[in-house]
Amino acid sequence: MTEISRRVFLASSTATVLSACSVARDAPQKREVIAGADTDDAKNKADFSLIEVTSDSLASFAKWPVTDPRPAQRWPGRGGGLTGQRIAPGDTLSLRVWTTEEASLLTRTGERYADIPNLSVSQSGHITLPYAGEIHVAGLRVDSARVRVEERMSDIIPSAQVQLDAAIGRRNSVDMVDGVRAPGTFPMEERNLTLLNLVSAAGGLEGSPANPQVMITRGSTVYRMPYEAVLQSPALDVALTGGDRVVIMDDERTFTALGAAGSQKVIAFDAEELSALRAVSLIGGIADNRADPRGLLILRRYPESAVGQPGGPKKAKVVFSLDLTRADSLFAADQFLLQDGDVVLATQANSPTIQRILGLFGSLLGAGRVASNL
């Protein structure tokens, strides 16, 4: 075979490859996703809006509503807790009544004391004693309650002296429900019990939760705060109140990574504020040989109730576009915060198929050179 015929053969072979080659795509291209995007609401009836994220455009949507499944973030004040154990409804008291009398209403001849065990403090805060009737003890410290009981008992046994022990009930304890190594019910004894005291008593956090959240249920009110914020600010390490229920749980917020990225999966937020730039890091970056760095798209759906409101989105569905090849967009991406349910789509560049074909063409040329030397 002559050199000319050899080149003709290679050219025809390459043409055949170019016409027949079909390379599987891993992600859509940016132009396909944003086709028909509504960039001018007055003239276009598309059902989604396209916004280029730049330093200048950030302010235009900074006050749009946040999609967050978690309870509103609020926190109890520094008050509450105990400076000493106080008797509460649900506690159980046990009395021992001493007397110097030979016989009394509570003792037989020769006995010097009478035990009155397991007196439950009623919801109204009272205990009921034989012959003495109801005595209000809720809210009193143990010593004060003992004095009050002794005063009432002296009406029927003049020489009475009272010993009083209290077993802590539900309202003098807190429940550590989940998120720690040893959940359970913890009594509030002769000290203030703060949130971090409770976590420590329960063995510390279980595992390595992503951006753990603390939830305190107090009556009908639910308080929430990032656990990291409590660790960083002593003022947030509040004293607990009897009956509190504490749960430490993972951040419920997630985003979905798709397209020409390092991973395609649902990813949990690992910080209270997650920027688009950090999200790119969490997904393993964008694929060097496939992704379009000018076409990182973030798809978000706002509630219909927010559409058309002053300062709100004009469409419920919004596509935010970031160009990672420009410094301005990179700075903007570091300020653009993801929301729960966002889709981060790394679109595919126009060039991968061509690059692969050219690589194949180069291989054929290389094979041709080898053949010419034979």
Longest pairwise C-alpha distance within the chain: 135
Least confident of 10-19, 160-169, 231-240, 296-305: 10-19
Which whole number is the average pLDDT over 344-353? 80
Q: How far apart are CA 174 and CA 186, in angstroms?
A: 5
Q: Could you give the residue range(s) of every CATH 3.30.1950.10 domain in the chain?
A: 92-167
Q: Is the pLDDT of residue 3 over 70?
A: no
Q: What is the mean pLDDT of the chain?
A: 84
Lowest mean pLDDT among 30-44, 226-240, 290-304: 30-44
Task: Tell me the CATH number for domain 173-249.
Answer: 3.10.560.10
| Tokens found for residue 77 | 């004040």
* pLDDT grade for 18, boundaries at 50, 70 and 90: very low
Q: How far apart are CA 119 and CA 225, in angstroms?
A: 39
Weakest-pLDDT range from 182-191, 192-201, 213-222: 182-191
d(CA 308, CA 93): 62
Position 23 confidence tier, pLDDT thresholds 50, 70, 90? very low
Per-residue pLDDT band for 370 (boundaries 50, 70, 90) equals very low
pLDDT for 17 equals: 47
Phi/psi of residue 121, each to 5°?
Answer: -75, 120
Residues of the chain with CATH 3.10.560.10: 30-69+253-347, 173-249
User: Residue 363 — pLDDT band, cuts 50, 70, 90?
Assistant: low
pLDDT digits (tens, 9 = 90+) for 37-72: 765 554 556 789 999 999 999 999 988 988 887 877
Average pLDDT value for residue range 282-286: 93
Residue 22 pLDDT level (bands cut at 50, 70, 90)? very low
Q: Which pLDDT value is given to residue 80? A: 56
Look at 137-141, 196-200, 243-247 and tell me which has the smallest mean pLDDT: 137-141
Mean pLDDT of 131-138: 92
What does the pLDDT read at residue 162? 94
> Mean pLDDT, to the nearest integer, of 239-244?
90
Average pLDDT over residues 250-277: 94
Please, are residues 81 and 240 in contact by the beta-carbon 8 Å criterion?
yes
pLDDT at 194: 93
User: Burial level of 65, CB count in 10 A (0-12/13-18/19+)?
Assistant: middle
Q: 156-186 b/e with 16+ CB inside 10 Å = b?
A: ebeebebebebebbebbbbbbbebbeebeeb
Mean pLDDT over residues 288-314, rounded?
A: 89
Model confidence at 184, pLDDT cuts 50, 70, 90, reads very high
Q: Whose CA is closest to 242, among 78, 90, 124, 135?
A: 90
Could you tell me the fold of the domain covering 30-69+253-347? Outer membrane lipoprotein wza fold like (3.10.560)
Query: pLDDT at residue 113 above 80?
Result: yes
Does the domain at 92-167 match CATH 2.70.98.30? Answer given as no
Cβ(336)–Cβ(280) below 8 Å: no
Which pLDDT value is given to residue 32?
Answer: 86
Percent of the chain with pLDDT over 70: 82
Planar angle of CA 86, 88, 93, nearest 5 degrees = 85
